[in-house]
Amino acid sequence: MVVETLRSARPVPRSSKRLSRMQRHIALTGMIFVAPAVIYVLIFNIFPVIYAFYLSFTNYNPLDRQGPQLQGLDNYRAILASDQFWNALRVTTLYTIEVLPPSIILAIALALLANKPLRGIGLFRAMFYLPRIVSLAAVSLIWLWLYSDHGILSYLASFFGGGVIGWLTSPALALSAVAVMRIWKSLGGNMVLFLAALQGIPQDLYEAAAIDGAGRWAKTLHVTLPGLRPMIVYVTTINIVYLFQSFSELYIMTQGGPVESTTTVNILIYNQAFQYNQLGQASATAFLLFAVIFIFAFFNIRLISARRTAS
Amino acid sequence: MNVARLSASLFASSTQQRRRSAMTLRTLLLYAALILVAILIIGPFIWVISLSFKGTNEAFAYPPTLLPQVPTLKNFAEVLSSDVLPGAFLNSVVVAMTSVITNVVIATLAGYAFARLRFPGSEAVFLTLIASTMVPGAVTLVPLFLMAKNFPLMGGNDLLGHGGTGLLDTIPGVLLPHVIQALNIFLARQFFLEQPEELAEAARIDGATEFGILARVYLPLSLPMIATIAIFAFTGAWEDFLWPLVVTSSPENYTIQVALSAFAGIGGGGIIDWGPLMAATVLATLPLLLAFIFFQRYFVAGLASGSVKG
Amino acid sequence: MSRCISFLAMLLTFTMVLTACSSGLSSSGTATTHIKVWFPGNSGPESDLVLKTLVPAFEKANPDITVDVQYVDWGSLSPKLNTAFAGGIAPDVFGHGPAAAAGFVASDRVLPLDSYINTLDEATRNDFGSMLDAGLVNGHRYLLPMISDGLLFAYRTDFFQQAGLDPTRPPTNWDELQSDALKLTQRQGGKIVRAGLEFSNAGIGSEQTFSTFLYQAGGQLLNKEGTEIAWNSAAGVRALQFMVNFYNGSDAVASKDGGSTGTLPITQQPLLTGQTAMELIDSGTLAGIQQAAPNVMKNIVVMPPLGLVQPAAYGGAGTGLFINKDSKHPDAAWRFIKYMTSVQTLQQYTDVTGTVPARASFLKSDLVQKRPFMKNFLEAQAANVFKPNPNIPAWVQVRDVLTRYLEKAMAQQMTPKAALDAAAQEAGSLLAKK
């Protein structure tokens, strides 16, 4: 998506004589316009990241008076050799796999539903969007109650036999239970994006397909889904970036337990940084996570973009 | 991706998309599906409201009842009577609103430039901005903290940033990471990419400045995008917990999330009493809801001429 | 462009005005000494007492000092304190558990209190007794404890009677504990509806429980010098197996589905609600139960400390007060600490919190009249039954390693011996580092 949209940003070249003056003026204005954003992000986002990268090669403990001491690759070696890290990576990947596909598919279905020209559809759309604007922390507390033994989910489950189910206290169920909550929260936000994409698909494509004798399912398969592809790429990429950094909901609902079945890499980083004061190690773990995210995001874009047929 | 339609789809009122909807069986089934989904999605919030009016024993009662048998306002009273919360609420509002303004201004300018004002290296710069969102915030916290402390000419610091406490324990300090989010620049860029270039061409021929083109030609069309950025910026600043926690130390500078955590002790082995906790959640979420409703109403009008294809 | 500039100027001015306002708010009077204090926790009644009663009283008695007290909940304490130290804005006085002492000493962040402690009269020092050693690191004392912590077994006399046991003769050793627990367990269709015995089996609580049984079995967590792990001894394995047996297998007396009891409000505590007949419990919770349900409290009695090899339990000094090494007003800080640990203050403080004060003289006070169960805790404290966590810099990390493996053993993912050995190996490298 990034690649495609980058291409579309290139203006069509005109006659080369008129290019230089006009283009230079535009380029200068462009640089001035992005200056505030770039300067700010450079100073307050990028620079801390670079500093954190430097810290990942040190044994920095914020409490120590002497400041960071370089230690070479020791942190990286120690982390890559620790079972805890690999378990956390496994948990994080599992969590992403459990959340991402259902939330995309359900969001598309919801968008198709919410695209119908019915009276009051705007109200329904706003309702679906509600979980998006409530904070993740608040939502985690709500679901903490839902999953507790005196919560409504336990009550509903009791109708299907069995006693108290430890949704959040059983190592086999905890991660999936939180994943359900995350899917629920993401539906509205993703839905709105897909809705916009749906409304951008030209009507004539549908009409052409109808003329070719396509029924409803065929239309969906050959017009709707391909038309949604750019948005699917965008949504999956953004979601991958965020899901791999999951922290709040798991910290609040299970504190990484039971028996580390919900300890994501970001929880590990948090503990290393703020419970053990090992900021050097935490930074190293963070950059290992960054590498993983980058690879997944990159492959995600390539994978879905590459299968693009002429349309 | 069409950001105009994204915002339009969210903010459009039903009148713009209403057709003759005869009460066919299909329509009935669609409504049924919509209502079912709505219940599943809104359901948890109904329980939050229900719990916020229950006393402790009833909140833990099993099986749980939707309507409180003994409704009580005690939980809300407990939350509202705290000395810290009202001030914290105000702080959060100030930070969030300022974040909205700065994000809208900076993201619009930058997004437009990345989309339409080609300059050497803009691709690389843009990619770097996006990549910066992939690093977990926990490790940039301390570097950012130290930068806030050594901010020149603030809080008793000299030109080199030494001597005082800089932006620590100040509201601008809380605002620091929220002045601009990279995601909003991405969004603005996508939006402007879909606007027709011919408008700019025409305006240039008429002798308009680049800024004039942005301000007079594209900005009026951008209200849905601005509303979307506003919501993202507001919620981003409102929800932040860890940064305000470490950067503030006086209770008068707390934001709502920090004040609530002191009240509810989340994740650190604090006591979880559902009544007050849910009441606090309701109160902390209400402004977001109101902001959402507010922004939606304001920008619906701008969509009448929008690019919504049916 | 001009619109842009004027807007940015407005924003800058707005920012500076805000800065001016906030810094104006936080500046204090110039003639007095101003100290900042951070207390851990988020208990409403406790912070009300401190902020509205104790601090004003201190300021009245010491007109040259003003105190700014803040409560920081335990979960937020570490991030906040550590970044504050890194940024040089840490408070003059802060409260923390004694286990944190070694870490702060290793980073040279806390002031040795020996010279100040020596200014206390002998009676006071004896009153603190061994509690004064709680913050002993490298031969120096770094904290003054306010309260003492400890876990003891409490039981419901009414359930004892129902099960045909004599409520005046609680278990005195492990065998009796186990057999009584079995008799007290009530099942319904294969599920346990009343546990015979419950204790913390996850998180930090599990380490405290294990510590209790470990010391009872004659083992210890680390060797005396704090340089080697000692919990994977035969005693350790025995203790952990004992713990595991309560929650697993056909003779289980408790089920883990309920989750942690630490986050439950008082009225939902299992000993109160009858969810369990016996529990390893702290005095604060018992005080809460007494206040919330005095009728139920009449049926709750604390057992004398149990033991296999020796009577022991997890405990020792609880939260204590440290002085920041960089504090500009250490004398004022010390005066505040002295005040907070004085008998009158502790009387009010422990009245509200239900915790046990760190001073032996309370054994004869009316505290024991009001809360009979305090007697057990105070006596155990005086008899050195309570075994505190080791005082080493890497303790938090070591403890978390142990906790992880304890959880695995309790979930029967590893045998007790394998779990303790694995924990010892992983934690051992942490000890070697520092």
Consecutive H or E run containing C68: strand C65-72
More reliable by pLDDT, B136 or A91: A91
Residue B161 has pLDDT above 60, yes or no: yes
Token pair in block for residue A243:
């899901």
**Residues forming beta bridges with residue C281, ordered by sequence position:** C152
Task: Identify the pLDDT of residue A14.
Answer: 52
Judged by CB atoms closer than 8 Å, whether chains meet at B142 and A23 is answered as no
Residue A43 exposure: Cα atoms within 13 Å on the Cβ side: 15
Task: Identify the pLDDT of residue A97.
Answer: 95
Task: Identify the pLDDT of residue B66.
Answer: 84
B81 in contact with C at a CB cutoff of 8 Å? no
Question: CA C282, CA C200: separation in Å to the nearest integer?
Answer: 11
Token pair in block for residue A161:
């036999």
Task: Identify the pLDDT of residue A2.
Answer: 43
Long-range pairs for C292-297: beta carbons < 8 A, 24 or more residues apart: C292/C266, C292/C267, C293/C267, C296/C272
Nearest to C153 by CA among C279, C327, C319, C275: C279
Q: Quote the domain boundaries for residue B57.
A: 22-82+266-283
Question: CA B271, CA A227: separation in Å to the nearest integer?
Answer: 50
Task: Identify the pLDDT of residue B281.
Answer: 81
Confidence band, pLDDT 50/70/90 cuts, at residue A19: low
Question: CA C382, CA C365: separation in Å to the nearest integer?
Answer: 15
Per-residue pLDDT tens for B209-221?
888 888 888 888 7
Mean pLDDT over A184-194 rounds to 87
In chain C, where the domains are located: 32-146+318-341, 150-315+391-433
Q: Show residues of chain C in contact with B153, CB under 8 Å.
A: none
**Is there a shared CATH topology between the C32-146+318-341 domain and the C150-315+391-433 domain?**
yes
Confidence band, pLDDT 50/70/90 cuts, at residue C154: very high
Residue C208 has pLDDT above 90, yes or no: yes
Question: CA C412, CA C420: separation in Å to the nearest integer?
Answer: 13
In chain A, where the domains are located: 81-306
Task: Identify the pLDDT of residue B271.
Answer: 67
B97 in contact with C at a CB cutoff of 8 Å? no
Q: Show residues of chain A in contact with C202, CB under 8 Å.
A: 257-258
Q: Show residues of chain B in contact with C18, CB under 8 Å.
A: 94, 170-172
Q: Residue type for C417, please?
A: K
Q: How many helices (H) and strands (E) does chain C have?
A: 20, 15
User: Are B29 and B113 found together in one domain?
Assistant: no
Residue C259 has pLDDT above 70, yes or no: no
Pairing of strands C191-194, C278-282: unpaired
- For chain C, percent of residues with pLDDT exceeding 70: 91
Judged by CB atoms closer than 8 Å, whether chains meet at C203 and A274 is answered as no
DSSP collapsed to 3 states, B222-260: HHHHHHHHHHHHHHHHHHCCHHHHHHCCCHHHCCHHHHH
Query: Would B198 be classed as within a structural domain?
Result: yes
Consecutive H or E run containing B71: none
Question: CA C17, CA C19: separation in Å to the nearest integer?
Answer: 5
| Nearest CB to B2; choose among A158, A200, A252 | A200
Q: Give the 3-state secondary structure of residue B186.
A: helix
Question: CA C141, CA C116: separation in Å to the nearest integer?
Answer: 10
Residues C186/C193, Cβ–Cβ less than 8 Å: yes
Say how many C-beta atoms besides its own lie within 10 A of residue B283's C-beta.
Answer: 18
Q: Give the 3-state secondary structure of residue C324.
A: strand
User: Are B164 and B279 found together in one domain?
Assistant: no
Chains that touch A (3 or more CB pairs under 8 A): B, C
Confidence band, pLDDT 50/70/90 cuts, at residue C79: confident
Nearest to B63 by CA among A150, A142, A160, C275: A150
Question: CA B108, CA A33: separation in Å to the nearest integer?
Answer: 9
Q: Give the 3-state secondary structure of residue C192.
A: strand
DSSP collapsed to 3 states, C200-256: CCCHHHHHHHHHHHHHHCCCCCECCCCCCECCCCHHHHHHHHHHHHHHCCCCCCCCH
Residue A206: which residues within 8 A CB-CB, separation 6 or more? A219, A223
Q: How many CB pairs under 8 A join A and C?
A: 69
Residue B273 has pLDDT above 80, yes or no: no
Token pair in block for residue C261:
């009891």
Mean pLDDT over A266-276 rounds to 89
Shortest alpha-carbon distance between residue A75 and chain B (Å) = 14
Question: CA B155, CA C192: separation in Å to the nearest integer?
Answer: 61
Question: CA C96, CA B216: separation in Å to the nearest integer?
Answer: 60
Residues B87/B252, Cβ–Cβ less than 8 Å: yes
Residue A145 exposure: Cα atoms within 13 Å on the Cβ side: 30
Residues B119/B134, Cβ–Cβ less than 8 Å: no
Per-residue pLDDT tens for B125-154?
888 888 888 888 888 888 898 888 888 888
Residue A17 has pLDDT above 60, yes or no: no
Minimal-distance CA residue of chain A relative to C268: A150
Residue C260 has pLDDT above 70, yes or no: no
User: Are B129 and B203 found together in one domain?
Assistant: yes
Question: CA B259, CA C71: separation in Å to the nearest integer?
Answer: 11
Residue B308 has pLDDT above 60, yes or no: no
User: Are B139 and B235 found together in one domain?
Assistant: yes
Shortest alpha-carbon distance between residue B202 and chain C (Å) = 20
Q: Residues of B4-13 as b/e, b for ≥16 C-beta within 10 angstroms?
A: bbbbbbbbbb
Chain A residues with CB-CB distance to C under 8 A? Answer: 61-65, 148-149, 163-166, 168-171, 255, 257-260, 271, 273-278
Residue C27 has pLDDT above 60, yes or no: no
- For chain C, percent of residues with pLDDT exceeding 90: 50
Nearest to A239 by CA among A126, A112, A130, A105: A105
Mean pLDDT over A230-252 rounds to 87
Token pair in block for residue C150:
């400890």
The mean pLDDT value of chain C amounts to 86
CATH of domain C150-315+391-433: 3.40.190.10
Most confident of C225-229, C300-304, C357-361: C300-304
Task: Identify the pLDDT of residue B201.
Answer: 85
Question: CA C196, CA C156: separation in Å to the nearest integer?
Answer: 10
Task: Identify the pLDDT of residue B16.
Answer: 45
Task: Identify the pLDDT of residue B13.
Answer: 47
User: Are B186 and B146 found together in one domain?
Assistant: yes
Q: Residues of A215-252 as b/e, b for ≥16 C-beta within 10 angstroms?
A: eeeebeeebbebbbbbbbbbbbbbbbbbbbbbbbbbbb
The answer to which of A172-186, C91-105, C182-196, C202-216 has the lowest mean pLDDT is C182-196
Residue C392 exposure: Cα atoms within 13 Å on the Cβ side: 24
Chain A residues 75-104 within an 8 A CB cutoff of chain B: none
Q: Show residues of chain C in contact with B99, CB under 8 Å.
A: none
Domain C32-146+318-341 sits in CATH 3.30.60.50: no
Per-residue pLDDT tens for B278-296?
888 888 788 777 777 776 6
Query: What strands, in cross-sheet order, belong to the sheet with C144-145?
Result: C65-72, C33-40, C93-96, C320-323, C144-145
Task: Identify the pLDDT of residue B123.
Answer: 85
**Residues forming beta bridges with residue C156, ordered by sequence position:** C300
> Is the pTM higher than 0.90?
no
The mean pLDDT value of chain A amounts to 84
| Nearest CB to C78; choose among A164, A169, A274 | A274
Q: What is the dihedral of CA C362, C366, C372, C377, to 10 degrees?
A: -10
Consecutive H or E run containing A64: none
Place of tokens 């349900």: C293
Nearest to C94 by CA among C135, C34, C141, C37: C37
Per-residue pLDDT tens for C96-151?
989 889 889 999 999 999 999 999 989 999 888 888 888 888 889 999 999 988 99
Minimal-distance CA residue of chain A relative to C414: A259
Say how many C-beta atoms besides its own lie within 10 A of residue C141's C-beta.
Answer: 18
Nearest to A230 by CA among A204, A186, A197, A189: A197
Query: Would B231 be classed as within a structural domain?
Result: yes
Q: Give the 3-state secondary structure of residue B202.
A: helix
Judged by CB atoms closer than 8 Å, whether chains meet at C73 and B252 is answered as no
Task: Identify the pLDDT of residue B71.
Answer: 85
Judged by CB atoms closer than 8 Å, whether chains meet at B5 and A200 is answered as yes
Query: How far, in Å, are A195, B295, B299, C262 from residue A115 at the CA level?
Result: 7, 22, 20, 48
Query: Would B8 be classed as within a structural domain?
Result: no
Token pair in block for residue A258:
């039971």
Minimal-distance CA residue of chain A relative to C399: A276
Token pair in block for residue A155:
């009550």
Judged by CB atoms closer than 8 Å, whether chains meet at C19 and B168 is answered as no
Split into its structural domains, chain B has a count of: 2
Question: CA A60, CA C189: separation in Å to the nearest integer?
Answer: 56
Residue A73: which residues within 8 A CB-CB, separation 6 or more? A57
Q: Residue type for A98, please?
A: E
Per-residue pLDDT tens for A119-138?
778 778 888 888 888 888 78
More reliable by pLDDT, A304 or C293: C293
Mean pLDDT over C10-30 rounds to 48
Per-residue pLDDT tens for B163-193?
777 888 899 999 999 999 988 898 888 788 8
- Diameter over CA atoms, chain A: 80
| Probe site for chain B from A135, A150, A233, A240 (most B CB atoms < 10 A) | A135
Token pair in block for residue A162:
């069995």
Nearest to B18 by CA among A118, A195, A122: A118
Per-residue pLDDT tens for A94-117?
999 999 999 999 999 998 888 888
Residue B85: which residues within 8 A CB-CB, separation 6 or more? B79, B256, B259, B260, B263, B283
Shortest alpha-carbon distance between residue A244 and chain B (Å) = 9
**A81-306: which CATH number, 3.40.50.10860, 3.40.50.2000, 3.20.20.70, 1.10.3720.10?**
1.10.3720.10
Task: Identify the pLDDT of residue A133.
Answer: 81
Pairing of strands C386-387, C93-96: unpaired
More reliable by pLDDT, A3 or C347: C347
- Diameter over CA atoms, chain C: 89
Compute and round to an integer the Cα radius of gyration of chain B.
Answer: 24
Q: Give the ranges where C27-156 is alpha helix by DSSP (H).
A: 44-48, 55-61, 74-87, 101-106, 114-117, 122-128
Mean pLDDT over C201-226 rounds to 90
Token pair in block for residue B298:
């304001």
| Nearest CB to B246; choose among C25, C68, C80 | C80
Question: CA A193, CA B1: separation in Å to the nearest integer?
Answer: 8
**Residues forming beta bridges with residue C356, ordered by sequence position:** C148
Residues B100/B233, Cβ–Cβ less than 8 Å: yes
Per-residue pLDDT tens for C367-425?
888 888 988 988 888 888 999 888 888 888 899 999 999 999 998 999 999 999 999 99
